[in-house]
Amino acid sequence: MNLVGVIPARMGATRCPGKPLIKMAGKPMVQWVFEAAKRCAVFDAVIIATPDQEIVEAAKRFGADAVLTSASHPTGTDRIAEAARNVRASWYVNIQGDEPLMPVETIERCAALTAEGKSETASVYDWAREDEIANPNVVKVVTDLQDRALYFSRSEIPFARGRREKCKKHIGIYGYSYDVLQRFSQWEPTPLEISESLEQLRFLEHGVGMQMSWAAATPLAVDTPEQAEAAARLLEEVRA
């Protein structure tokens, strides 16, 4: 296979335990993500990577393939690296399991950028709103003149001297080659990765390029029970 979509999902999220299986508009959250990924014609397969048998069983019920992985992985990228050893392909796209409102077009943009093979990794950004720029929960990215990532931070970057320019908000969907995924899983967490708590910095600190492109951000990611309720209301509106 050439391109596989992978959805990492686990029950043990600290702020919202069990969130992949929270019902939203009649479906578990991870099913909404899976169905959005399946609407992308570019994927040869879409799988769920999880350490939880509950999620494997739920995936079977809505017709998804799931790979059971170790419970010890510190990041979603490490989980995908293990899943990739069971489902071999040239390229993989990490589709976050807690973003049930992710636009299909955004998944397709990251997938297309990945399949172009200009870089070993790929990702996308949108323009940050004014109220997001100083928010440490919103990750920012700066890029070079060819739209390759230079740095990711929870801080405001770049520094605005005088008139504020547009600030790029990182969207947490990634593309990787098989080889770079396996290298990533062998590397120890790096200093900037630890400082910012951003796993994508491990690639940059090892000199791995990440090609970026604009794409529309998801209207809401789910990190808390309150956000899960808000996402469920939005999905009810979509279904209606």
What pLDDT, on a 0 to 100 scale, did the predictor assign at position 220?
80
Mean pLDDT of 141-151: 97
Between 213 and 229, the higher pLDDT residue: 213
Least confident of 10-19, 27-36, 76-85: 10-19
pLDDT in tens, 121-141: 999 999 999 889 999 989 999
pLDDT in tens, 38-73: 999 899 999 999 999 999 999 999 999 999 999 999
Residues 6+ apart with CB under 8 A from 160: none
pLDDT in tens, 183-199: 999 999 999 999 999 99
Residues 6+ apart with CB under 8 A from 183: 206, 208
Buried b (16+ CB within 10 A) or exposed e, 117-129: eebbbbbbbbebe
- Judged against a pLDDT cut of 70, whether residue 165 lies above it is answered with no
Cβ atoms of 212 and 122 closer than 8 Å: yes
Between 78 and 234, the higher pLDDT residue: 78
- What percentage of the chain has pLDDT greater than the value 70? 97
| Domain segments of the chain as ranges | 3-228
What pLDDT, on a 0 to 100 scale, did the predictor assign at position 162?
61
The values of phi and psi at residue 48, to 5°, are -110, 130
CATH class of the region 3-228: alpha beta
- Judged against a pLDDT cut of 60, whether residue 240 lies above it is answered with no
- Judged against a pLDDT cut of 80, whether residue 81 lies above it is answered with yes
